[in-house]
Structures are given as structure tokens and as C-alpha cells.
């Protein structure tokens, strides 16, 4: 064991000795993975957390790394099987069982898919699988963790990014995801709604399409219909969320709006719209109970694509994110914008699926050339489809 990793292990031992005692959330066992401890050690070696940004700037850009955490919709039965051989991954799932009250590993490995796809299950499943993938990456390439300069997560993946960056502890983050998923599941069951992935063209007018879909809903007796862009993925590609009647209208009239392809997503509700307003307050309350810290590396918010600045900023925007569009395209530009000729960092997608890699390729081809995926399935098990 290197001196650096040994110091990280001691930092983790200190972190479970009573710190953050204000939370009533179940805690992971002392041996559970704490990649944030390795980050703490890396910043200490560079002269302290206040100098971390300057230290990152001194590294060659090509030596730095960025971690991307996937969101709901990436779940697949079997995820996690390719991670169990790595140290402490089973302990992560044991800790998850205590927080959730059911065997998440069994559900992730054996399904059925219909149960895994439920919001209340898939959000915690993707969260834990992503952090288990970080443990795999830490085991195989520890320098990637030490040289990480930025992280971002898609929707629920933002919680995993924040746990990775040390802004909240694993069990606290998972408990927040549990409450979020339950509240979003309940909100989605109140109204028949969903999400539609739309690949458009330059002449596609998403705003007009959504307004006309809303007017159509009114003719069908739906009061206060919702139909709006909920995810900005890459140029000319959006996800539209809202009432099912509105989404069906858009699919039937796709040629009118110059949509090249539409596809319903495997989610249970119209997420990231005002249909999720009932889910905001439960999440606000649980976030108040969590001792949120300033991230050790830059974590970018889905709400505006910018870096989180302080703990209260995190608590505010995580709640706002539930009813706001995910500005992923804007986030990719914020992370990878650089002067011409400057090398791009290594990018690792940690978690099920490769959709964030596909999006990165469409947003920034040069950045994508340094992209890798940390596999969570066994070899030959990946059912990945193009976005």
C-alpha cells in the first residue's frame, strides 16, 4: 500500500469516528469505500484544500480527469456483477441494504427489469452502482481519482458526483436519493406522464411544438397541461416531459415539427417539470438534515451547468433540480471549454450505460477522444443501445 493511500485510509477512519453527528441517517461500515478520503489526501499533498484549484492548474491538462455519473434510465438487470470482485463493493451494497430496507444488490443482479425500472428502485440502484464503479476505477487506476478536477452527474447522478467529491457521505446521500425517489414515484403516479427523447434538426422549434401540444391537451379536457423541454442533451437533441397525451401528440406530428426521431424513455413520470412539485418539499427537508460540505473537486449543477460554490448552494439547487430542466449540454461546454490547442482531460463515465459518452461525442468530439467507460456488467453482458 502506498503512503498516499495509507494516509487516505487513516483519513477515512477519522471520518467515521463521530464526524457529522447531526444526521440520523444510517452510516456505512468503517471499511466502506471513501474515495473522498483519497481526494482529501491528494489535496493535502498539494498544500491544502484551499490550494487544490491552483494545484490542478499546475498539472498538464492531459493528466487531469473528469468523472461523469449517469442517471435514471441507464439501469439494467445485471449491473454491479462486474464490480463484485473489487475491494469493498459488497460492503457498499450491505450499507445500502441498511439504508433502503431491501436487498438492492439482489434486485440489481436479478431483477426483474420491471421492478428495477420503478423510480423508487432505479434511482438508488444507479447511485450505488456508480459509486461502486468509482471503487473499481480507484482500484485499477488510483491516479485518475487523485488527478480528478471536475465531476458531473445526470439528474440523480448528481448526488453520486457530490458523494464522490466529499460533499456528503455515502449513507446520507443514499438516504436523500431514497426520499427523492419515493417522492418522485408518488408524484408520477398522480398524473399520467412521461419523457420523450427527441432528435430534431436545425429547423425544429421545440418551444412551438410544446405549446401546440399543450393546446391539444386542453381540447381533451386536461387542465394546466405540462409539456416542456426537461433535458438539453446535445445540439438538436432534447428530452420533452409532460402529460402522456402531449407526448403522444408530438410523436404523431413529429414530421410537422421536423423531428427526425422520437423515443419514449423507460421512466415513470414527467421528471424535471412542475409535475414534480410535490416531490420538492420532502427533498428539501432531508437535505436540511444532511451536513453538506464544500466539494473537494468542482461539481457542476444540472440547473445551470455552473460549479457549486458552497453547501447552501448545493442544498438549494438539488431541490430546484427536481422541477428544472437538466442542462447537460451547457454543463459539457462549461467543463470542456478551453483554448485551442489545449489538451483535454481524460473522461470516465462511472456507472451503467454509455449514454453520457454518446452525448459527449455529439457535444465535443475532441473531448470524447479521451473518454472511457467503467464497465459495471460482466463481459458480454452489455445490452447498450444508441441514444
Q: Convert the pLDDT of each residue in 134-143 to its tens digit.
A: 999 999 999 9
Mean pLDDT value across residues 7-34: 40
Indicate which residue of 272, 301, 370, 373 is catalytic: 272
Mean pLDDT of 213-229: 97
What is the chain's mean pLDDT, rounded? 87
Hey, which residues does 264 pair with through a beta bridge?
196
- Give domain limits for the chain: 62-189+274-374, 191-265
For residue 173, CA distances in Å to 77, 101, 273, 358 come to: 23, 15, 23, 27
Highest mean pLDDT of the ranges 43-52, 54-63, 264-273, 342-351: 342-351
CA–CA distance, 51 with 163 (Å, rounded to integer) = 21
Q: Which residues, in sequence order, are CB contacts of 10 under 8 Å at separation 6+?
A: none
What's the mean pLDDT in 290-302? 96
Provide the pLDDT for residue 269: 93
Tell me if residue 370 is catalytic: no
For the 191-265 domain, the top CATH level (class) is alpha beta
- Cell 449491473 belongs to residue: 79
pLDDT at 381: 52
pLDDT of residue 32: 44
Sheet holding 326-327, edge to edge: 261-264, 193-199, 237-243, 227-234, 326-327
Task: Find where cell 433540480 sits.
Answer: 321
Report d(CA 311, CA 298) in Å as an integer.
13
Q: Which of 155, 204, 254, 298 is catalytic?
A: 155
pLDDT of 44 > 70? The answer is: no
| 300 catalytic per annotation | no
CA-nearest of 183, 274, 263, 262 to 227 is: 274
Selected from 3.50.50.60, 3.40.366.10, 1.10.150.20, 3.40.50.2300, the CATH number assigned to the domain covering 62-189+274-374 reads 3.40.366.10
Q: Residues 290, 293, 297, 299: what is their CA dihedral angle, to the nearest 10 degrees?
A: 50
Mean pLDDT throughout 79-95?
94
At what angle are helices 89-100 and 170-190 packed, to 10 degrees?
A: 50
Please tell me the pTM assigned to this model. Answer: 0.86
Q: How confident is the model at residue 5 (pLDDT cuts 50, 70, 90)?
A: very low
DSSP 3-state of 120: helix
The grid coordinates listed for 324 are 428544472
Amino acid at each position: 500500500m502506498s503512503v498516499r493511500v495509507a494516509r487516505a485510509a487513516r483519513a477515512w477512519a477519522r471520518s467515521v469516528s463521530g464526524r457529522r453527528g447531526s444526521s440520523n441517517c444510517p452510516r456505512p461500515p468503517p471499511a466502506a469505500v471513501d474515495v473522498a478520503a483519497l481526494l482529501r489526501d491528494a489535496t493535502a499533498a498539494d498544500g491544502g484544500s484551499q490550494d487544490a484549484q491552483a494545484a490542478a492548474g499546475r498539472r498538464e491538462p492531459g493528466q487531469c480527469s473528469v468523472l461523469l455519473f449517469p442517471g435514471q434510465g441507464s439501469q439494467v438487470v445485471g449491473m454491479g456483477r462486474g464490480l463484485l470482485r473489487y475491494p469493498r463493493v459488497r460492503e457498499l451494497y450491505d450499507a445500502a441494504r441498511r439504508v433502503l430496507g431491501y436487498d438492492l444488490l439482489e434486485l440489481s443482479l436479478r431483477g426483474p427489469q420491471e421492478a428495477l425500472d420503478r423510480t423508487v428502485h432505479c434511482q438508488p440502484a444507479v447511485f450505488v452502482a456508480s459509486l461502486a464503479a468509482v471503487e473499481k476505477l480507484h482500484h485499477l487506476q488510483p491516479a485518475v481519482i487523485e488527478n480528478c478536477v471536475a465531476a458531473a452527474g445526470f439528474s440523480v447522478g448528481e448526488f453520486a458526483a457530490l458523494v464522490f467529491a466529499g460533499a456528503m457521505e455515502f449513507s446520507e446521500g443514499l438516504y436523500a436519493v431514497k426520499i427523492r425517489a419515493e417522492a418522485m414515484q408518488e408524484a408520477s403516479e398522480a398524473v399520467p406522464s412521461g419523457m420523450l427523447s427527441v432528435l430534431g434538426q436545425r429547423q425544429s422549434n421545440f418551444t412551438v411544438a410544446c405549446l401546440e401540444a399543450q393546446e391539444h391537451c386542453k381540447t381533451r379536457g386536461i387542465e394546466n397541461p405540462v409539456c416542456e423541454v426537461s433535458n438539453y442533451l446535445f445540439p438538436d437533441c432534447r428530452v420533452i416531459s409532460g402529460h402522456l397525451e402531449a407526448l403522444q401528440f408530438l410523436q404523431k406530428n413529429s414530421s410537422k415539427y421536423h423531428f427526425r426521431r422520437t423515443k419514449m424513455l423507460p421512466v415513470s413520470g414527467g421528471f424535471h417539470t412542475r409535475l414534480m412539485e410535490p416531490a420538492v418539499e420532502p427533498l428539501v427537508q432531508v437535505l436540511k438534515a444532511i451536513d453538506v460540505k464544500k466539494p473537494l473537486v468542482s461539481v457542476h449543477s444540472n440547473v445551470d451547468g455552473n460549479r457549486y460554490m458552497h453547501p447552501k448552494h448545493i442544498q438549494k439547487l438539488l431541490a430546484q433540480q427536481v422541477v428544472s430542466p437538466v442542462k447537460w449540454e451547457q454543463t459539457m461546454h462549461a467543463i470542456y471549454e478551453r483554448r485551442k490547442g489545449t489538451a483535454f482531460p481524460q473522461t470516465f463515465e462511472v456507472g451503467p450505460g454509455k449514454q453520457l459518452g454518446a452525448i459527449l461525442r455529439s457535444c465535443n468530439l475532441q473531448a470524447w477522444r479521451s473518454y472511457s467507460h467503467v464497465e459495471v456488467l460482466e463481459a458480454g453482458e452489455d445490452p447498450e443501445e444508441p441514444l
